[in-house]
Amino acid sequence: MEELRYIPNIPDTDKKRIVVVGSGFAGLKFVRSMLRKNFQIVLLDKNNFHQFQPLLYQVATAGLEPSAISFPLRKILQNEQHIHFRIADVQAVKSELKEIETDIGTLKYDYLVLAMGASTNFYGQKKIEQTALSMKSAADAILIRNTILENFELALLQDTPEKAAKYLNIVLVGGGPTGVELAGAVAEMKKYIFPKDYPELDMSKMRIVLYQGSGSLLAGMSSKASARATRYLKNLGVEVNLDTRVLDYDGGCLKLSDGTTISSKTVIWAAGVIANQIDGISVSSMNPQQRIMVDRQNRAYGYHDIFAIGDLSLMKTPKYPHGHPQVAQVAIQQAKTLAGNLIRIKRNASLKSKDFEYRDKGSLATIGRNLAVADLPFVKLSGFLAWILWSFVHLFMIVGVKNRILIFMNWSWNYFTYDQSLRLLIRHKPSIINRSGSDPFCEIKLDEINTEVDVESV
């Protein structure tokens, strides 16, 4: 079969073609800002939906279904002309030819906007990468939910509380918003859900442990917010360990920098992110964390027609000499500024492009029911008021009215019933959980368990 050269069914027109890679906050906002602006837009992504990553932790803890935080890209674009979407894995940029290579063919561009975001950073620890769980996609969140539920089923098969503890303990690595919010959600499940679902298990043996390599949680927020978050988590029963790094994990036991170990079959890694890579971008245009360095118009260093926005980009400004935080608001604001600049250039090439200036609207993090922290430009909040603010902000950032209604209904049900009704163990392959119990780091050795758990797939 002849190898596909160009992606078919994308016509050549007299319009400037903008190829956008990635449909996260940055990519989707840019595309929506360019609708009906007399450009041809080609959007490429590995998935056919936009997902709201800040609520992935609620999918992982059975509070929401993935569909509630996902929105089909073709529905957004279905009434738009001159906009094309393809599911594709972008492999390389050929800047000299103004082309990109993908797994479905190549494509020419006039302007290329890279918005692929970031993925979990394991800091070169390959063993941990293979054995720990991460949470950057809906599939990751479902895997976490499956793992937690399956391990509780396995805990029922153990003949001593000590053996069961390995399956009950949940360890989170990383004290940023993901780790803190997930720890709080799991703690509430321990308090309200697990005792009813698993009355045969002694929940006092279950530990929820959070490890943070630095001296505080929520490093991007104020010291007051960090202290409040730490106190809230401890009140919920979470063991918070600061200045503690995970050195190794073999799938059953963690080895820590303070010399201790802990047994757990559920380790969730949320210790940092690293920019997603693409071949063809000069190494001189990237920093050590693989972020593409850009100017104040988000143009990649060394290129005239390649732009990077969102978590992938690194822009140094007088207010942010080390780059902006990798948060949704930066991505959204960069996308709007870039869209305005390209429209301005098209209308009159002599017009000066607008420099990007980040307007910090504040930071929010929720810890649990009625518990959150908020750093706003004019005030700092915590507790119930911060939790209400967090709820409204996240609800209105969701794409699609139907999704907002679904999430509001789920939140209302969960709040008034103290129940998360989506505890479904869904898998299409046999469990790959290691039942051998072999742990080179921990003293307790478990006998091999041959019993299979027959949990009906939903």
Indicate the domain borders of the chain: 17-120+274-347, 126-270
* Residue-level pLDDT at 435: 43
* Residue-level pLDDT at 424: 75
Question: Which residues are CB-contacts of 384 (< 8 A; sequence separation ≥ 6)?
Answer: 370, 371
* Residue-level pLDDT at 432: 47
CATH classification for the domain delimited by 17-120+274-347, as one of 3.50.50.60, 3.40.50.1820, 3.40.190.10, 3.40.50.720: 3.50.50.60
Cβ atoms 329, 360 nearer than 8 A: yes
* Domain 17-120+274-347 and domain 126-270 have a common topology: yes
281-301 CB burial, b ≥16 within 10 A, e <16: beeebbeeebbbbbeebbbbb
Residues of the chain with pLDDT below 50 are 1-2, 431-437, 444-458
| Sequence-distant contacts of 381-387: CB under 8 A, at least 24 apart | 382/224, 382/225, 382/228, 383/228
pTM of the model: 0.87
Give the helix/strand (H/E) hosting 18. Answer: strand 17-21
Q: Residue 102 forms beta bridges with which residues? A: 90, 105
Question: How far apart (Å, rounded) are the C-alpha atoms in residues 163 and 173?
Answer: 23
The CATH-assigned architecture of domain 126-270 is: 3-Layer(bba) Sandwich (3.50)
Task: Detail the DSSP E strand segments found in 194-272.
Answer: 208-211, 239-241, 246-249, 253-256, 261-263, 266-269
* Residue-level pLDDT at 438: 52
